[in-house]
Structures are given as structure tokens and as C-alpha cells.
Amino acid sequence: MLSTALPSITRADAMSDLAAAAKQEGQLTVIALPHDWCGYGDVIAGFKAKYPEITVNELNPDAGSADELEAIRANKDNKGPQAPDVIDVGLAFGPQAKDEKLIQPYKVATWADIPDNVKDADGYWFGDYYGVMAFGVNKDLVKNTPADWSDLLKPEYANSFALTGDPRASNQAILGVMSAGIANGGEPGQASGEKGLAFLAELNKAGNFVPVAGKSGTIAQGQTPIVAAWDYNLLAWRDSLKGNPPMDVVIPASSSLAGVYVQAISAYAPHPNAAKLWMEYVYSDEGQLGWLKGYCHPARFNALVAAKSVPQELMDKLPPAEAYNKAIFPTVEQQAANKKTVSEGWDKTVGANVK
């Protein structure tokens, strides 16, 4: 369903009008989209190739979900290049953005293919892709790959383990703590946050936690030999390192935690039509397969498989289905409770300033 501001004669006419309006705006501003995250480099390139008249302005690729919302707040009255048009944030941040009136509703043409449990009924935010929490391990430095969270407490992993960002702001880091909490007996929600914080505090006290935001470069350099991150990030990093160093990617045995991210359009978007056109692109078959090439399971994955729209060679590159079949998908409410517990309790319980 397109915006009511556009003609509703036929789908083709409406899309044509939207594309024309977006081209007239001439720019799209995105934020927090590293090119090695979920295949975004190729996805952005695909959008540029399809709409060469639209310049894609990329803000702060390493920003966390909280930073994205802050970018909207800080630029409410600014129509310049620092104001994001669209955001891609962790599931718990979607309802928060809606409550703060930071985002506007929009329903893409393929809306029906997006599972109901990962989209706002009114179209304010909607799931885009998911992965599961895993460990990425530098095999030049770590002889024994940890199989579970409890293994990380062993002395052999001194000064080795890191999260991907600040657990007070980064969705990926917050859910890394949640995964640790579930592995230590905490039910998803406040309990997983409390158990996860207690475990990270123990890890920090043992000298095994490194307060550095882990990424492919820090793994390769040995600064963070073990990093908890989404499987799609770790698999992409492994590919980019090309065996230098060799890297293991393993899903913790006791906690296959799935993390859903969501898309939304800023309520203050300087280029609202370009933002809508971007959404139509990333939820088209082309955009969804672009995310899948980056090892992410897109929101329309089941519909694409049912329609036989996924090339077999692409399916063959994905991790084994078992990891996804047993994955835990926390609800919006559980994620929000975990997020509150972790972000508010990190300083007091763990006390490490992740940079």
C-alpha cells in the first residue's frame, strides 16, 4: 500500500509517481549501514544502479540503534545532510521510536509477506531481517574454540572476549548480553538482562572481557580474539579476511538467540519520497535477496522460498537450518525489558566502558 498522497489508479502508476517524486528530491540519507553488515554494500549499490538520479548520503556506518534515534531527535528542525531519512534499528527500538513520534507510517507493496509479529499494525516500523547470536574466533590466537558462554570464563580466554559495542546503546551488544543471560538460566526479558549482566561482570572480574567494540579488524589484529555478534556479520567478516587469520563462527550451544531488526522512516525525513522508494526497493525480491547474500534471513524469506525465488546456490551458502529451527525469538516486550535492564544496569553491575 502506498502513501495516500500518491495516485491510487494502479500499482505501476503509483510506483512511477513515487519514483518521479524521489528523483526530484535527489537524495536519500541513511545511517548506521556498514557495507559488510547484511550485504548492505551491494544493497546500496543496487539501489544506486536502479535510481542513479538519487544520491545516497551515508551517515555514521558504525552507529548503534540508540545513536540512530538520537540523530532524528537532534535534527528535527534540520533539513541538511545530518538528518537521516530512514533507520534500521533493533526490534526494541521500533516501539520506542513510535512512542516518541520519531517515525512515520508507511506500508510497502509486499507488506503482507512480513510476519505480523515483527511489524507494527499501523506501519510505523516493520521487520527487515534476522540472524542468531554467535562467536567469531581468531584461530591463530585461540586454540580451542569456545562452544558455549560458560567456556569464556576459562583462564585460557584471558583478555580475549568482546561485545560489538556499548551495551548501553548498541542493540547487538544488548542482545549479546541477553544471549549470555539465557545461557545462564534467565528467561527472556528482565531476568535475561540481570543474568547476562552478572555473567559479564564475572567475565570482567576474571580479566577475560575486553572493553573494546569488536569488529573484523579487531579480531584480525588480535585486540579482540573472540567476539559475540550476529552470525551474518561474523560470516561476512570471515569471508572478507580470506583466511588471514582463519576464523571460526560458532553458535553457543545453550543459547540460539535470534535478533530481528526493523526499518522505519523518520517523521522528519528531508526526503520522504526517496525514503519510501528505498523501502520499496529493500522489500522487493531484489532487495531481500541482497540481504540474503549477506547471510541475513530477510523478513520475506518464507514467502521467497515458497515462490521458489531463492537461487539454490544462495541457499547452499547459508548456515545449517538447525540453528534457526531452535532459535529463540524474544517478543517486543521481552526485548524492551531486557534492553532497559542492561542499558540501565551496565555501569553499576559491570562497570566497563566499552569504546
CATH topology of domain 131-257+326-349: D-Maltodextrin-Binding Protein; domain 2 (3.40.190)
Q: Rounded to whole angstroms, what are the CA distances from 40 to 30, 217, 279?
A: 11, 18, 14
Closest by alpha carbon to 195, among 210, 209, 183, 205?
A: 183
Element spanning 341, H or E: helix 332-349
Q: Rounded to whole angstroms, what are the CA distances from 211 to 226, 234, 287?
A: 12, 19, 35
Q: Do the two domains 11-127+259-322 and 131-257+326-349 of this chain adopt the same fold?
A: yes
Q: Render each residue's pLDDT in the chain as its tens digit; 355 residues.
A: 344 444 434 566 789 999 999 999 999 999 999 999 999 999 999 999 999 999 999 999 999 999 999 999 999 999 999 999 999 999 999 999 999 999 999 999 999 999 998 999 999 999 999 999 999 999 999 999 999 999 999 999 999 999 999 999 999 999 999 999 999 999 999 999 999 999 999 999 999 999 999 999 999 999 999 999 999 999 999 999 999 999 999 999 988 899 999 999 999 999 999 999 999 999 999 999 999 999 999 999 989 999 999 999 998 888 777 777 788 999 989 999 999 999 999 999 999 999 9
Answer for the pair 190, 337: CB distance below 8 angstroms, yes or no: yes
The helix/strand/coil state of 165 is: coil
Predicted model pTM = 0.85
- The four Cα atoms 140, 142, 145, 148 give a dihedral, to 10 degrees, of -140
CATH superfamily of 11-127+259-322: Periplasmic binding protein-like II (3.40.190.10)
Contacts of 104 (CB under 8 A, 6+ apart): 124, 264, 265, 266, 267, 269, 272
The domain locations on the chain are 11-127+259-322, 131-257+326-349
Q: Rounded to whole angstroms, what are the CA distances from 152 to 147, 175, 244, 328, 336?
A: 9, 17, 23, 21, 26
